[in-house]
Amino acid sequence: MDNDSSVPKNMLSTIKEVINRNTDLYNTYHGAGDGRLSIWFSLRTLISCSEDVVLKIFEMADEYQTNVHVHMNEYPNEINYSLEHHQKRPIEYLDSLGVLGPNLVSAHSILLSENEIDLIQKNDIKVVHCPISNLGKGMPKTPRLLQSNIKVGLGTDGTAHAGLSLFNEMKVFRSAMHIGYGVPTYDPLIMPAKTLLNLAIKGGAQTTFNEDKLGSITVGKKADLISIDLNQPHIYPSHNLVNTLVEAVNHTDVKDMIVDGKIIMRNREVLTLDEEKIIYEGREALKKLTIKAGI
């Protein structure tokens, strides 16, 4: 960020500082964790970044052959700012700079015009919705995006809104799509469970540029798997397991987890971390922050 009057000055950075911070992260952590960790270049929002920073971030991402993540078309004031200062909507503004391309992940993407959707499709831009966070700001045009064969995934926008459960995100998103599009057009199949599961799994692989490694149980792909305890009153019996996974299963029903062939959780016990220690340290950190903030 180098261009936002609403942000405290000590949070703003020069272009040099922005680039150094991004490149340091890339050089230190890209490819870590046996290749599981990827570092991308990022812009907070177009409101808080000058044109020079925008151009430089995309230039550096190309140089390092990595991707770019930007919060796009999330708030009405973001659209208004772009129209006022650039006479273009946010996606159109990036197009005018010549930086749109398949290595861009457009986070949120709630308030899109038809022309912006066409630009996203034309440039193979990836879109990630964070339903619980996003729906307080608008209704994303997901059916239209999917009809245009745009790659869409689901996220949570961090832990502050409603945790990190994609099961929760799918439930909320399905209801939203029914209210926003299904009910007005009398279409109960506007966002079926299979589509939602695809957004969470295959869409997640596509929008993180890991479709060749993740997103399906296929020979040659990573063994990233979870097991779900189906033998529970709120789940069993099930006539349609796909519908049940979306409508009834919760994150707490995940019993085991395998990452790249390694079991990291068994019977809900994390084998690679000391949960009690982490919770204790988090509690102590909260106490210190509370005192420091005077609340």
Convert the pLDDT of each residue in 175-197 to its tens digit: 999 999 999 999 999 999 999 99
- Looking at the chain, the domain(s) classified CATH 2.30.40.10 span 223-295
Q: What is the largest CA-CA distance in the chain?
A: 59
Alpha helix ranges (H) inside 188-273: 193-200, 202-207, 241-247
Task: Say if residue 3's pLDDT is above 80.
Answer: no
Which residues have CB under 8 Å from 245's CB, separation 6+? Answer: 193, 197, 228
- Looking at the chain, the domain(s) classified CATH 3.20.20.140 span 9-221
Is the model more confident about 162 or about 64? 64
Instruction: Please state which of the ranges 15-19, 69-73, 141-145, 212-216 shows the lowest mean pLDDT.
Output: 15-19
Instruction: Give the integer Cα–Cα distance in Å for 245 and 254.
Output: 11
Give me the mean pLDDT over the 213-230 stretch: 96
Give me the mean pLDDT over the 98-117 stretch: 98
**Res 6: pLDDT:** 65
Tell me which architecture the domain covering 9-221 has in CATH.
Alpha-Beta Barrel (3.20)
Instruction: Give the integer Cα–Cα distance in Å for 204 and 211.
Output: 8
Instruction: Please state which of the ranges 12-26, 30-44, 105-119, 259-273 shows the lowest mean pLDDT.
Output: 12-26
DSSP string, 74-135: -SHHHHHHHHHHHSS-HHHHHHHTT---TTEEEEE--S--HHHHHHHHHTT-EEEE-HHHHT
* Contact predicate 173/165, CB 8 Å: no
Mean pLDDT score of the chain, rounded to an integer? 94
Spell out the CATH class of 223-295. Answer: mainly beta
Which residues have CB under 8 Å from 48's CB, separation 6+? Answer: 1, 2, 3, 4, 7
pLDDT in tens, 18-59: 899 999 999 999 999 999 999 999 998 999 899 999 999 999
Give me the mean pLDDT over the 109-136 stretch: 97
Is the model more confident about 92 or about 19? 92
Instruction: Give the integer Cα–Cα distance in Å for 155 and 128.
Output: 6
**Res 1: pLDDT:** 54
This prediction has a pTM of: 0.92
Task: Say if residue 2's pLDDT is above 60.
Answer: no
